[in-house]
Chain A
Amino acid sequence: MSSSSSPMQSTGRKLKLKSKDDETFEVEEAVAVKSQIFKYMVEDGVSNGPIPLPNVNGKTLARVLQWCQKHADPTITEDELNKYDAGFIDVDQAVLYDLLMAANYLNIEELLKLACMRVADMIKGKSPDEIRRTFNIKNDFTPEEEEEVRKENAWALGP
């Protein structure tokens, strides 16, 4: 599966990427450089063969590249971009996790920010128990530790 063609007339070169499950993607340089990793590669004149990305699977890479393409489009308005982002990041935890890790690995600042904000939104307003359940986090405190932590953070909660 290759990336969908860019809506703009492209004269730029393309980068070839290979996901960890061996899917290959072709993407315009102008789109790829949303990732700082690719930006350096392009600037350093690297990349003849496909660039292997052992930490990102094909499905996630496809999504990420779609996002990059949208954000590289000069005709899109800020409003449209915000709407797009809101829809883009409204995904289940597994996908969100994959997107966050990919954005981190590929060093795509805006996408990482978007994913982290979404995680923050999922945390807001929940009690520690609810958060543990939502994210399947193990409580490894002893009862004494738990009380200690509760006390040392009480200042933030009271009036």
Chain B
Amino acid sequence: MGATLSGLEYGTNGSGMGPGLGDIPESCVACVFLYLTPPEICNLARLNRAFRGAASSDSVWERKLPPNYQDLLDLLPPERYQNLSKKDIFALLSHPVPFDHGNKEVWLDRVTGRVCMAISARGMAITGIEDRRYWNWVSTEESRFHIVAYLQQIWWFEVDGVVKFPFPADIYTLSFRLHLGRFSKRLGRRVCTFEHTHGWDIKPVRLDFSTSDGQVASSQCCLDDTEHDNHKRGCWIDYKVGEFIVSDSEPATEVKFSMKQIDCTHSKGGLCVDSVFIIPTDLKNKKEEGF
């Protein structure tokens, strides 16, 4: 008779009821773990010593990590992950891993283990960014990169970016995170001003991306709506461009994306550009806005 996960002798459970589900052998527990998410497994680790052990097993966590998790680890110095168990590696990668001089971040979704990415405006090519009459950088806690690009006004509005990364097989949604109006904190309260916000209701902004294997998507929309009840101002909105499919992490997928409104008959302004997100479509549909 051996010890089981209930912490009791095999075949008894102390209440005289006969063996119960706390008595299933460790191999079966590993099977159960296949159907639990990482947070649920971590929850089970808190039951007793035996569950703590079973919930830390490398074979369990290897299956929660994406197959090419080493590609994410490669973004970190080896001493950060050298002697870690697979569970600790998952924990490590579930926090944002910066790359490209901190202009990009990649992480594993804690629940599903799928790869998510954010690209800062800092890592994009913004036409006129060096001219303070047009654009300014604004530090803010409302961005995961702690900085956003604020457009005062311009005629040629163009923001371009590119990322090349071994995304694991999945379907991803690419979106731009934008905010109409400028925001600040006054006496602890969030305040928005729209002194520069103009031009977005005249013609739509065009959002595009294309991938190295020929997938493309495009969408158009007016960022502002001055006629009706305006829900577009004063909050962060994710503007979805479209979806792309990755069938294998090799070769690495390159995605070029852009946002344009280059009709120079009218100027536009009063907009914050935070980042681009590349998130598995399933996850995106479940999550609430606000990163």
| B6 & A156 in contact (Cβ 8 Å cutoff) | no
Pick out which of these stretches binds chain A: B31-39, B125-133, B221-229, B276-284: B31-39
**30 pairs, CB–CB < 8 Å, chain A vs chain B:** A94-B20, A97-B19, A97-B20, A112-B31, A120-B32, A121-B35, A123-B32, A123-B40, A123-B44, A124-B40, A126-B43, A132-B47, A136-B22, A137-B6, A137-B7, A138-B6, A138-B8, A138-B48, A139-B48, A141-B49, A149-B52, A152-B45, A153-B45, A153-B46, A155-B94, A155-B95, A156-B38, A156-B42, A156-B43, A156-B94
Task: Pick the residue among B13, B27, B42, B52 that contacts A136 (CB under 8 A).
Answer: B13
Which residues 95-127 of A have a CB within 8 angstroms of B? 96-97, 100-101, 104, 112-113, 116-117, 119-124, 126-127
Complex: A54 Cα to B32 Cα, angstroms: 25
Q: Residues 9-33 of chain B: 1 if any A CB is under 8 Å from the residue's CB, otherwise 0?
A: 0000111011111111101100110
| Closest partner residue, chain A, to B24 (CB atom) | A100
Given A138-B14, A156-B91, decide whether A124 and B7 contact each other with a Cβ distance below 8 A. no
Taking chain B's interface residues, is the majority helix, strand, or loop, or is none over half, making it mixed? loop
B260 located at the interface, meaning its Cβ lies under 8 Å from any Cβ of chain A in the complex? no
> Given the complex, which residues of B lie within 8 Å of A119, measured CB to CB?
21, 24, 32
Contacts of A104 in B (CB 8 A): 25, 27-28
Count, chain B residues at interface, CB 8 A: 41
How many angstroms from the CA of A100 to the CA of B30 in the assembled complex?
Answer: 13
Name the residue on A nearest B28 (C-beta). Answer: A104
